[in-house]
Structure formats: C-alpha cells, structure tokens
Structure 1
Amino acid sequence: MAVIVTGASGFIGGAIARALADRDETVYALSRTDPEIPGVNFQHWDITEAAPQAVQSLAAKATAVFHCAGISSVSADDDALYAVKVTGTRNVLDAFPKARIVHVSSTTVYSSAEPHAELWEEAGPKDPSEFTDAYSRTHALAEQLVSRIRPDAAILRPAAVYGPGETMFMPFLSKISKKGVLRLPGGGRQKLTLTHVDNVVRAALACLDVPSAAGPFNIGDPTPYRLKDAIVTHFGRMGYDQVVIEGVAKDKALVTAKLGLKVKGVFKRGDRAKLFLVQYLQSDRTYNLSRQQRVLGISTTQHLIPSRFQ
C-alpha cells in the first residue's frame, strides 16, 4: 500500500513527505519536479491536467493522499492559481476516489474584511466572490470542491507557516525591510496565530492515525504571538538580517499599498503581495485551535518563545 503526496517539491508538501518516509510508509511524490527526498518515490504529474496512466495505476494501492500542491506566491497570475488550486484539486480527487484525502488549505479562506479573533472553523470558507485576491478565492473554491465531493476528507487550515525552508510570510517580511528597518501597519503589535511547519506535519500525520477525522481544522502554534516579538525571535534563529520595527498607521499603509499597486500596474509591474500583507495586518488574526486537540488528539509546540524563556 502507498501514501501519496502532491506538491512534495514545495515547503509543506516536502516536510510531510519526509515525515511519512521517516515512518517507513511507502511514499509517492506527485509533482512536476522531483523533490529528491530519500525514501520517497517520484512520479511526474502536472495536476492541471488529467492524471496520466502511471498515476492512475497508483490509485488501487493508495491508502491516503496528502494534497499539498499549490502556488506559494499571492502575486501569481489568476488563471495559474485557478488551474492549480481548483482544477488541480478536482483532478486529484478524480484520480484517487477511494483513498483517504487530507487537503492542505489555509486560514486565508476566512473573510479578509473582518477581524479574526479566535475564529472557529465554521467561520469559513467565505463566499469566494467576496475575495478581491485570487489566492484566497481559489483556496476557498478548492475547499468547497473537496467538501462537496469528499465530505469525509480532512481539511487542514494552517495560519501563516514558517520554519526551515519557508517560502512566504517571514521571507517576505525580510525582503521588504530597508536598511535594517521594517515598517509595519500598527508597528507589529497585532496578535497573530502562526504555524511552525512541524506543527502542520504533526496534524497531517494525525489524520492518518485518526481516519475518522473529517472537515476543517485550524492548525497553529498554541498561543498567538505579538507579531513584532515573533519577527525578532525568528529572524535571529534563521539568520535573517536583524531589523528595527517601526510603525505606520494602518489606514495610511492600506491607501499607500493600493496606490502603489495601481501605479505599478500601469507599467505591468504590479505586485499584489504588499497589498495582501497590509490587508492581512489590519487587525488581529487568531484562531480557535480546540478542534485540532479534541479530534486529532495533538498538542502543537510554541516555537517562537525567546530562548531565555524555554
């Protein structure tokens, strides 16, 4: 029997594939590029297309599918995001109709226009038409698809994921700092649930151990962080250049980001990532994690406690 991981060449998919291999599972990585993970078999598949015969032949022996494939950039082309996250998800479900499905989603499926204060899972996904960005909209559409076709599937919603090999939140914050200064809406005083990649892996493996677990699960470190404290701690551990965090008014940051995107768009250089971040940091983003504990039976780890307190 075998366990399938889509998107194993990515940050989260790769971490899950390595953990499954460490458990001596027979693991097949299905992606466009070989992740070259020891103990993991590779089968090429662009999930925006129907499964080739080689992939179809795996269906009979696949006990579980961890669907992690996606595009990490919120600035990606809308059509590309839809093709991977929506069409690709449908193709995966069609290819493995009998396997246990664990779908990796995101807390971006909750409304971006409202504060996220200890949100329970039933707060999302919001109506996809409410989202102004294709990244969040396609995550919501993919979740709706999974819920309709495979109501027995487990859906993992990690908050902003960080850790070795990270590709989005923390690297982007490092990138936008200038001369050692990182300017954030509200000065980084927001309370955020963050998710170390090891906690995502722990939740994913629990979905194998608790096959009856279904529906959405918020996944995160146990206690929300004050963003500026988390940044300073994480940058120090990961070897990023240290920064001084300065504040900018939230409404001013939002107007500036929207104007910057509009101006750059005239020259075909619009980058939606900055606007996405500013919108994300307009309020606290915290999530109720009791379901991951109660149903999956896991306790996650608070990774960003300063070392002197550990």
Structure 2
Amino acid sequence: MKVAVTGSSGFVGGAVVRDLAAHGHEVVAFSRRVPRLPEEILAQVSHQFWDLRDGPLAKEDRPEHVDAVVHCGAAVGDGGSHARAWVVNVEGTRAVRETFPEARFVHVSSGSVYDPRTPSVAATEAEAPAHGYLNAYGSTKAAAERYLAADAAREDRGPVVVLRPHAVYGPGDTTLLPRIESAAVGAWLPLPGGGRVRQHLTHVETLARAVRAALVADVEPEIAAGRPSWPTWPTPTPSTSTRPSSCSCSPGSGRCRWWASPCRWPARSPGPASVWPGGRDANPACRATRSATSPWSAPMTSPCCANGSAWTPRPRRCTAR
C-alpha cells in the first residue's frame, strides 16, 4: 500500500513512518523538516517538504496513486494562540483532505476531544466531539473531526477513520514525559480530579499498530449507516505494576503523594520510568511502599531522589548528600 504521512518529522508521525515502512508499505513522508530514519527503511520512504499552513499541495507536487493518508501533523500543547492552532489543526486538516480527496484518511486526533470535565477512560466514541474545551488544542482537534465527518458524507470522498489516542508516550517523546518529569521536581505537580481520575496513556508503538489496523479496517457498515468511524481504546485494566503515573509534592510540608497507575503497561515497553523523580535508582523504601491500586500519602522528609541524594526546598532540586 502507498501511504502518505503528514507530520513525519514529529514524535508520532516519525513512529508511524518507521512502522509502516518496516511492514512493507511504500511511504511518502511530509513535513517541514527532514525526518530522521534508520538506513534499513530508506528505500521504502520518500520525503517531501510541506507546511500545512500553506494550504493544499499543488497538483504537480502531489504523489500519484496514494492509497491512504495518515494525518499526524498538528499544533500540540496546552497553551498557545487559538488562531495558530486553528490554522494548523483545522485548515491544515482541510488542506490534507483536499490534496488527497479519494484516499482513505486516517486522522490521528486526540482524547482531548472529549468533555474535559468528565473522565473519558471508558467513554464511547459518540461522546465526542464535545463542547466547552479548556484550550485551543482540544477545541481545534474537535473542529477538525467535525469537518471530516461532514466531508466523509460526500460520495466523491474516500472513507475517514479517526483515532483518539490519549497522552502518547514512548521513545523519542519530547512533550509528555519531559513535562511530567520537570513538574515532578518542582513545587507541585497538578493532578486532575485530585489524582483519583483514571488516566489512559498510549504507548507510541500501540498507536502505530492502530494506524496500520485503520488502513485496512472494514468501514462499510459505517458508510452504509451514514456514521463516521471513530475507533477508541480499550478500557484500562487493573495492574500490579508499582509504577506511579504522577506525583504531587509539597517540599515545605515534608509530604509527597504518589498516585499509582491503574493502567497496565505493555510488557514490551520499558514503561514511563522517567515520571519517578528518582527513576529506577529511587530510594528503595519509597518504592516498596507505593500502592498499585489506590492513592496514598505518607510523611516523608523529601521526594524520592536518585542515588541517595537529598531534596532541598530552596532551590527545589535533588542535591548530593
């Protein structure tokens, strides 16, 4: 299959390109920068520069006989200008669709399209897009989904499959885990819902496999019923893992609250060890008392620092003893 991938120089887009090429697909990678690719798949991948803000590709620049498009390009983040997010996430999606109108369109959306005030771990696909988003990312990703749902109803358009991963992490992550790690060694790490709301993380390899499945998924029932196809993720299962999903610390009070993850980490994944301030070298006493099924708080003189180092409130950091 010949597949076009946007955002190919990014974290998710790059992983999708590598996975598709490794499984024998011919990939046309689009991005503003040249993606870094392993030598063994270079023969499977060609690259074209494309800034989605420039609109659809000119006809003479469009690759021929593209079977499917995986749209990973997006303006991500909790802050930033709504206008910029709209240009990239909505108008950029429109530009990709107009460039490849007859190809199957796999849209990498986000769990952020659900109601931000309601837990969405076990939500159904019909519960989004919603309203009342807290930032430009959620609102513009939802707007892009609405545009695609309307566009897919046209008889001259290819089918659309929407994926809604939440909190994508894994090798090469430059956003989620670095941000959590940075916050964990600060004064406080905000916990939605007081840390009692289950969060569903998506490993980037899981997302890449979902993309491959979306390329061949049978969407005829949805087409016949006039419904969009919005695959979501399975409900997380309780795990005996002791890896916490986040930590909220108040150095001045001498207390650190850890919240254990209710999600099962993939066996082949190293897991998000970097969300522990001490990583795998954290104080064994701290590791031993973490619960895998419920949150807890315990008096502590410091958060868990690596290699036996000590926590200092001012400046807030781990220092050698």
Q: Do the two structures share a fold, i.e. TM-score over 0.5?
A: yes
Note the alpha carbon deviations across 1:218-245, whole angstroms, 9 max, x for none.
1367436773334998443689643889
Contact 1:156 1:217 in 2 (8 A): yes
**Is the deviation greater in 102-111 or in 116-125?**
116-125
Question: Residue 47 in 1 paired to residue 61 in 2?
Answer: no
TM superposition shift of 1:133: 1.3
TM superposition shift of 1:106: 0.6
Contact 1:194 1:224 in 2 (8 A): no
Rg comparison, structure with higher value: 2
Alignment of 1:17-96 (within 5 A): 17-37=17-37, 38-39=41-42, 40-53=45-58, 56-58=61-63, 60-96=64-100
Q: 1:268 is matched with which residue?
A: none
Quick one: distance in 2 between partners of 1:224 and 1:108? 23
Q: 2:49 is matched by which residue type in structure 1?
A: H
- For the structure 1 residues 88 and 237, does the alpha-carbon distance in structure 2 shift closer, same or farther, using more than 3 Å as the test? same
Question: Residue 114 in 1 paired to residue 151 in 2?
Answer: no
Q: 2:183 is matched with which residue?
A: 176
Contact 2:62 2:99 in 1 (8 A): no
More helix, by proportion: 1
**SS of the residue aligned with 1:219?**
coil
The structure with higher relative contact order (CA 8 Å, sep 6+) is 1
Quick one: distance in 2 between partners of 1:220 and 1:158? 11
Quick one: distance in 2 between partners of 1:102 and 1:235? 27
Q: 2:174 is matched with which residue?
A: 167
**SS of the residue aligned with 1:29?**
strand
Unaligned runs of 5+ in 1: 249-310
Question: Residue 236 in 1 paired to residue 238 in 2?
Answer: no
TM superposition shift of 1:217: 1.3
Quick one: distance in 2 between partners of 1:124 and 1:14? 27
**SS of the residue aligned with 2:232?**
strand
The two structures, once aligned, show a CA RMSD in angstroms of 3.1
Contact 2:164 2:231 in 1 (8 A): yes
Quick one: distance in 2 between partners of 1:124 and 1:186? 20
Question: Residue 141 in 1 paired to residue 155 in 2?
Answer: no
- For the structure 1 residues 235 and 62, does the alpha-carbon distance in structure 2 shift closer, same or farther, using more than 3 Å as the test? closer
Unaligned runs of 5+ in 2: 154-158, 221-227, 246-258, 298-321
Number of residue pairs matched?
245
Quick one: distance in 2 between partners of 1:183 and 1:144? 31
Q: 2:133 is matched with which residue?
A: 131
Quick one: distance in 1 between partners of 2:205 and 2:68? 20
TM-score (norm 1): 0.69
- For the structure 1 residues 8 and 28, does the alpha-carbon distance in structure 2 shift closer, same or farther, using more than 3 Å as the test? same
Note the alpha carbon deviations across 1:168-211, whole angstroms, 9 max, x for none.
33221111122697564566343222111111111100112325
Q: 1:202 is matched by which residue type in structure 2?
A: R
**Is the deviation greater in 72-81 or in 98-107?**
72-81
Q: 2:102 is matched by which residue type in structure 1?
A: K
Note the alpha carbon deviations across 1:242-279, whole angstroms, 9 max, x for none.
3889989xxxxxxxxxxxxxxxxxxxxxxxxxxxxxxx
- For the structure 1 residues 34 and 146, does the alpha-carbon distance in structure 2 shift closer, same or farther, using more than 3 Å as the test? same
Q: Structure 1 vs Structure 2: percent identity of aligned residues?
A: 33
TM-score (norm 2): 0.67
Quick one: distance in 2 between partners of 1:46 and 1:207? 25
